Amino acid sequence: MPLLNPYADTLPDVVTPWDYDLVAWNWEPTNGSPTLTTRLNTAGRLNVHTIAVPIPITVTNVHVHITATPTALTSGQCGVALYSGTTLLGSLVTGVDTAWASLGFKTHAMSGGPFKIAAGTLLQVALWYNGTTSPGLFRSTSAQTDTSLALSAANFRDALADTGRTTSAPSTLGTKTGSASIPHWVGLS
């Protein structure tokens, strides 16, 4: 049964995360293209995607959609992390390399969850890999410059951050840059 859509009365024709049993996402999936697969950036580098939270939510999982299989991912050195602003809330490394080895929708339970998130919060989802070739993820048909418009690098909706990540996410998200970052789809439940 789908989650209750808090916008059903005021926006009945708008597709929302609740229509997919999610509580938030960085953009509506019909704005993406499975044929425009883009792989994660450099091994060990965080690919960061921002999700604006308009109403209070509770988050347990981060979701991604793998559209191209990777090669030789390093066991225990691929990960997903959830940040409130730049502060780490939870992460997952164990089993991520195995989950990403096949195509499809992936659900990653964040350690320490569930997390109660206040309205107005900007969440950051960080993804990283280590191995020969990264997984390809479902992506937007827009480039990073389209999704971030005139925002400064520190506020980019889709960006790159910290390097050298292996078995853990940084406790504080580093400085974001926009170079070579593509808007991959991420969702929360």
pTM (predicted TM-score): 0.87
> CA–CA separation, 63 vs 185, rounded Å?
8
Contact status, residue 44 vs residue 165, Cβ threshold 8 Å = yes
Identify the pLDDT of residue 16. 80
pLDDT confidence band for 26 (50 / 70 / 90):
confident
The residues that bridge with 109 in the sheet, in sequence order, are: 61
The residues that bridge with 105 in the sheet, in sequence order, are: 65
pLDDT confidence band for 180 (50 / 70 / 90):
low
Identify the pLDDT of residue 37. 63
pLDDT confidence band for 144 (50 / 70 / 90):
very low
pLDDT digits (tens, 9 = 90+) for 97-108: 999 999 999 999
Higher confidence at residue 170 or residue 1? 170
pLDDT confidence band for 147 (50 / 70 / 90):
low
Range in 37-46, 64-73, 79-88, 120-129 the model is least confident about = 37-46
- Domains plus CATH for the chain? 17-188 (2.60.120)
Report percent pLDDT > 90 for the chain. 59
Range in 53-57, 79-83, 127-131, 173-177 the model is least confident about = 173-177
Give the tokens for residue 158: 């889709």
Given a cut of 60, whether residue 157 has pLDDT beyond it is yes
Contact status, residue 162 vs residue 46, Cβ threshold 8 Å = yes
